[in-house]
Amino acid sequence: MLDKQHILERFLGYVKIDTESDPKSNSTPSTEKQWKLAKKLAKELKDIGLSDVSIDANAYVMGTLVSNVNHKVPAIGFISHFDTSPDFTAANVKPQIIENYNGKDIVINAEKNIVLSPDYFEDLLLYKGQTLITTDGNTLLGADDKAGVCEIVSAMEYLVNHPEIKHGPIKVGFTPDEEIGRGAHKFDVEKFGAQWAYTMDGSQIGELEFENFNAASAQICIEGKIVHPGYAKGKMINSMYYAQKFIQGLPINERPENTEGYQGFFHLHSIEGKVEKTILKYIIRDFDLLRFKARKEMVVSLTNQLNNEFKEVGFTAEIKDQYFNMKEKVTPLMHIIDIAEQAMKSLDIKPLIKPIRGGTDGSQLSYMGLPCPNIFAGGHNFHGRYEYVPLESILSATKVICKIAELTQKRYQ
């Protein structure tokens, strides 16, 4: 039986440590404050009794739970990131505990009239009667992905204390800077030593994901001419007006707010504009590799078209691939999905197998030689003041980790 209060206190301790990452920084980790939790995790793993615990120069934490069986079992891994998103502040997180949730509105900040309501966030109704952990409305919570970190540490502790549960070697890894797309960049796959792994970084209970977007960034630069506005007739070229031509040139129905499921999109997430120069920053996403390539080609084609149409203006496009769909690397090894699915079903958790409309460390790790599907960590409404996680989902994910370990060794008996 998992110690509910002990796990709750562990999670609360993690989220109170500010680990926000910074996309403008070139260091790893991108913020010094991430070291505090990294060092805490390394110490915890040692205290629990894991072997080969290490924390490298870039704050990647690894450890091993040694096998307790005599037969050969492949080493498997569990990975989570400990940074939080720069989309919203993680300073001075003050978690609130809502016990026996009644299915109604939760006033998370009365002073600012901030309400977490099932009328808007329908998923809340899945957790009536459960214990919810919310923000106080001023910060994000950090369940993405400190819930995953908590689940992995708690599962390792439980397995150490319950040697009657047989398992092979288990590797655990905690990474910085996942939220800014760099979580896997300096991950030492060879040192980690697992044949496959699972990121504990999903959302709703039951999620099991092995498909994600192919992803690229696109930066569009529009060059105009600045002239004194009093003498600008026939001379000024306002780049911001021409930026609109590019924005309108991409299909409106292929924006994130108009897509779902397997539909890809073009997402304009930043505009920096002055008369002389405007920069548009997009992310490009699609599950299908051919459609992904077509989207990138559309950006180039539109750039060329506008250059031909408005010869006095300069349009340039810079496109960079970010990550690819892990499906290609995971489907040849579908037994790793089968084991996770069986683990959930044995715990009366309904598996929700669906694509990730985003990316995880696992998508990059899969292409680095470590096939790495994604499992729910339990949180909802990531990256903002409405983030919450049911304590029962954290406990369930912890049990899933233990069950995967047990089922893997049984498969190789």
The C-alpha angle 254, 220, 269, rounded to 5 degrees, equals 50
Contact 353, 342 (CB under 8 A): no
For residue 61, which of 145, 165, 186, 167 has the smallest C-alpha distance?
186
Match 């390394």 to its residue by tokens. 42
Task: Quote the DSSP letter at residue 362.
Answer: H
- Burial of 312-329, coded b for 16+ CB within 10 Å and e otherwise, reads ebbbebebeebbbbbbeb
Please tell me which residue in 18, 20, 44, 83 is annotated as part of the active site: 83
Using N-to-C axis directions, what is the helix angle for 239-249 and 289-309, rounded to 10°?
Answer: 140
Neighbours of 110 (CB within 10 A): 9
Residues facing 171 on adjacent strands: 64, 77
Please tell me which residue in 22, 144, 178, 286 is annotated as part of the active site: 178
For residue 83, which of 21, 131, 139 has the smallest C-alpha distance?
21
Q: What is the distance between the alpha carbons of residues 18 and 130, in angstroms, rounded to a whole number? A: 27
The C-alpha angle 340, 343, 349, rounded to 5 degrees, equals 105
Identity of residue 386: Y
Residue 178 catalytic? yes
Q: Give the active site residues.
A: 83, 178
